[in-house]
Chains A and B, each alone.
Chain A
Amino acid sequence: MAHDPKSLSNRAAVIGVGNTAYGSFPETDEYGLAAEAFRNALEDSGIDKSEVDGLVTCRIPSYARMGEVLGIDPRWSVTLPPHGRMSGIGIIEAALAVATGQARTVALLYSNIGRSRRVNYGGDEMASIWDPWGFTSPGASHAMMFRSHMARFGTTTRQLAEVSVAIRHHACINPDAVMKKPFTIDEHEASRPIALPLRLLDYCLINDGAVCVLITSPERARDGRKPPVMISGFGGRDSFSKSAMSNFDQDMWYNEVKVAGAEATAMSGFGTKDVQALMAYDNFSPTVLFSLEGLGFCPRGESGRFVEGGTLRVGNKLPTNTDGGHLSNSYMQGWALNVEAVRQIRGECGARQVADCDVVQYVQATPCTRSIIYSRG
C-alpha cells in the first residue's frame, strides 16, 4: 500500500505540558512526581482527566500502579524502558495513536528519581562485557566517539566547550533550571576530568523530576487553554546491529540523524532553514555536535567551527537547548526538551524566548535516533 508520509503531518498536537520542580526529592517516588507533572499538564491544557484515554509511561516501575495512582483506565497504553532515547519514540507513537483514532488524548508520563537513588551510570549497575578492561558508563562511550571526531576532523575540546557554555547560559536565564552558575571556556577546560577527552562540564546532570505531555487531535487542541502546537513531522532510524558498546556508534549516528531529520522535514514541509530553535539530546556535549552535522545545520566535520562564538545561544544563529538541556536544566532524558519546544512556540519562555518562534526541531542522536518538528498551530 502506497503511503504518503505527509498524510501524518499535523494530525496530532500538544494540548498541554507539565513538569515538577527539578532537584532532589527523596521524600517522594516516581509515582508522586509523575502525578504532580500530570496535574500540572491538565491545568495547562484546560482539559479534564476523564478525557485521557491513552497512557505512555517511561521510567516508571509499574504502568498499572501509575494508572491506579491517577485513577485512569486507558483504552490504549504503551510502556517504555528507562532509556532517554524513548522520549522521541513515545511522542511519535502517541501521535500515531491519535492520528489513527486509537486514542483521543494521550498522557505521556516520565519520571526519574535517579538522584535520590544515587544512580552512578557505570560499574556493576551497568554491567557489560567490557568490564574486565575497565570500560564502563555512557560518558566513556561518548568520550570514545569525540576522540574519533577530534582525530578525523580536527575538532577541539575548546570548541566542544562552546556547547556546554551556551547551554549553561540558557539555564542561567531559566528560573526552573538546576544549574545557575555560568562558566567560561577556560573553566570548562579546567573542570574535573572524568573520561578524557570529556570533563565534568560535558556530562549531564542527575536529578529527580517528572514531565507530562498531553497529545490530542489538532481540532481538540484548538479548544485548549493554550495555543495548540502541531506535531508536523517526525522520522527515525535505529542502529542496533553494532551494539556491543552501548551508547556508541563509530560514525556518531551521522547517517541515522541525517535520515531521521530528512524524514521529519519532508513530512513537515519545513526545511532546516525554517527551524528557529533546536532541541538536541545532550546527555553529553558531543551529541549536540553530532546532531548539528547529521541534520545539516553545518557540513560534516565542521560542527566545532560552527558552534564557535556562541552560535547556539538565544539571540544568535541557532538557539539550542534553550531551557538549559540535560547539561544544565534537568536530566529528563529528552522529555523536558520536547516540553521546551512547545513552550518556545507558545511564546512562554521569558528571558530565553526565541523571537517569533514558529518552528522547533527536536533530535536524539542515540541508538534509537528520532527527530520531531513542532510548529505553531
Chain B
Amino acid sequence: MSYGTSSPAPKGPAGSAPTSGYNKPLPDITPLTKGFWDNAKQHRLAMQVCTQCSDVHFPASPVCPKCLSAAQEWRPVSGRGTLESWVEFHRAYWPGFADDLPYRVCLVRLDEGPLLVSNLVGEQAAIGSAVEVVFEDVTDEVTLPKFQIVKETP
C-alpha cells in the first residue's frame, strides 16, 4: 500500500513474497525512510542523526530539525527506552488487525530521545518501565521493531 492515498484494502507491495499472507499495513519505503527499514531488516534499530550537530531525530526529515543541515545519516541506537504510555485497540481500522483484537500499541521514549510508536511484546508493563527493542520479520522485505520489558539482570 502507499501512504497519503485513499487506497482500499491494504495489499503487500509489488514483489513481496506471495506466500506470506501478511495482510496488515506495510510501510511506505522511500529514499527518506529506507535507512530505517534497511537497518530493521538487519535487526538494528537506527535513528536519523545529523552529522553537523549530532541531533538524533525520528521520523526521517530532509533536513535536521535543529540546525537545518541536509547532512543526515542513519546510525544504530541502543534500542533501549522507557514505556511512556499505551492503548488497547478494540476496533480494527484494517481487516488485518481484526483477529488480533484487542491489541496493544505502546509509546516508547528511546534513551537517545526520539519517541516511537510500536507494540509491546509479551506481558504488559507499568508506565515508566525500561523496555528494549526486539524484531519481527513480517514479510521478506519488512521487519518491524517492537519492544519488550527489560528482564532483570541477575
Roughly how many angstroms separate A134 CA and B5 CA in the complex, as a whole number?
17
* A131 interfacial contact with B, CB 8 Å: yes
* B134 interfacial contact with A, CB 8 Å: no
CB pair B94 A129 closer than 8 Å: no
Residues of chain B contacted by A140 (CB below 8 angstroms): 87, 89, 105
Segment at the interface with B among A240-248, A328-336, A342-350: A240-248
Q: List 19 A-B contacts (CB under 8 A).
A: A124-B1, A124-B8, A129-B27, A129-B59, A131-B3, A131-B27, A132-B138, A132-B142, A133-B146, A134-B93, A134-B94, A134-B97, A136-B94, A137-B93, A144-B86, A151-B127, A192-B90, A198-B87, A250-B115
A195 is contacted by which of B10, B26, B87, B118 (Cβ under 8 Å)?
B87
* A135 interfacial contact with B, CB 8 Å: yes
Roughly how many angstroms separate A169 CA and B42 CA in the complex, as a whole number?
56
CB pair B85 A148 closer than 8 Å: yes
Chain B positions 74 through 93: 1 when the CB is less than 8 Å from some CB of chain A, otherwise 0: 00000000001111111101
A252 to chain B, nearest CB (A): 11
Roughly how many angstroms separate A137 CA and B117 CA in the complex, as a whole number?
13
Roughly how many angstroms separate A194 CA and B93 CA in the complex, as a whole number?
11
A130 to chain B, nearest CB (A): 4
CB pair B105 A133 closer than 8 Å: yes
9 tightest A-B CB contacts, nearest first: A123-B93, A131-B25, A122-B93, A127-B3, A193-B90, A151-B127, A196-B88, A130-B117, A143-B87
CB pair A132 B26 closer than 8 Å: yes
* A197 interfacial contact with B, CB 8 Å: yes
Residues in B1-41 with C-beta less than 8 Å from chain A: 1, 3-8, 10, 24-28, 33
Known: A134-B93, A196-B90, A242-B115. 16 other contacts (CB 8 A): A123-B93, A124-B10, A127-B4, A129-B59, A132-B142, A132-B144, A133-B146, A136-B94, A143-B87, A145-B85, A147-B127, A151-B127, A192-B90, A194-B89, A194-B91, A241-B65
Roughly how many angstroms separate A134 CA and B88 CA in the complex, as a whole number?
10
Most buried by A among B7, B8, B100, B107: B107
Residues of chain A contacted by B26 (CB below 8 angstroms): 132
**Which residue of chain B lies nearest to A141 when distances are taken between CB atoms in the complex?**
B87
**Which residue of chain A lies nearest to B105 when distances are taken between CB atoms in the complex?**
A135
* A100 interfacial contact with B, CB 8 Å: no
Roughly how many angstroms separate A194 CA and B89 CA in the complex, as a whole number?
6
* A156 interfacial contact with B, CB 8 Å: no
B89 is contacted by which of A128, A129, A145, A195 (Cβ under 8 Å)?
A195
Q: Interface residues, chain A, CB within 8 Å of chain B?
A: 120, 122-125, 127-137, 140, 143-145, 147-148, 151, 192-198, 241-242, 244-245, 250
| Total residues of chain B contacting the partner, CB 8 A | 44
A244 is contacted by which of B6, B8, B58, B126 (Cβ under 8 Å)?
B58
Roughly how many angstroms separate A120 CA and B59 CA in the complex, as a whole number?
25
Roughly how many angstroms separate A147 CA and B107 CA in the complex, as a whole number?
11
Residues of chain A contacted by B118 (CB below 8 angstroms): 133
Roughly how many angstroms separate A123 CA and B119 CA in the complex, as a whole number?
17
Roughly how many angstroms separate A280 CA and B119 CA in the complex, as a whole number?
32
Residues of chain B contacted by A130 (CB below 8 angstroms): 105, 117
Roughly how many angstroms separate A148 CA and B5 CA in the complex, as a whole number?
32
Residues of chain B contacted by A137 (CB below 8 angstroms): 93
Residues of chain B contacted by A132 (CB below 8 angstroms): 24-27, 138, 142, 144
Residues of chain B contacted by A193 (CB below 8 angstroms): 88, 90, 102
Roughly how many angstroms separate A173 CA and B54 CA in the complex, as a whole number?
58
- With contacts A132-B144, A250-B84 known, is A124 near B24, CB below 8 A? no
CB pair B97 A147 closer than 8 Å: no
A324 to chain B, nearest CB (A): 24
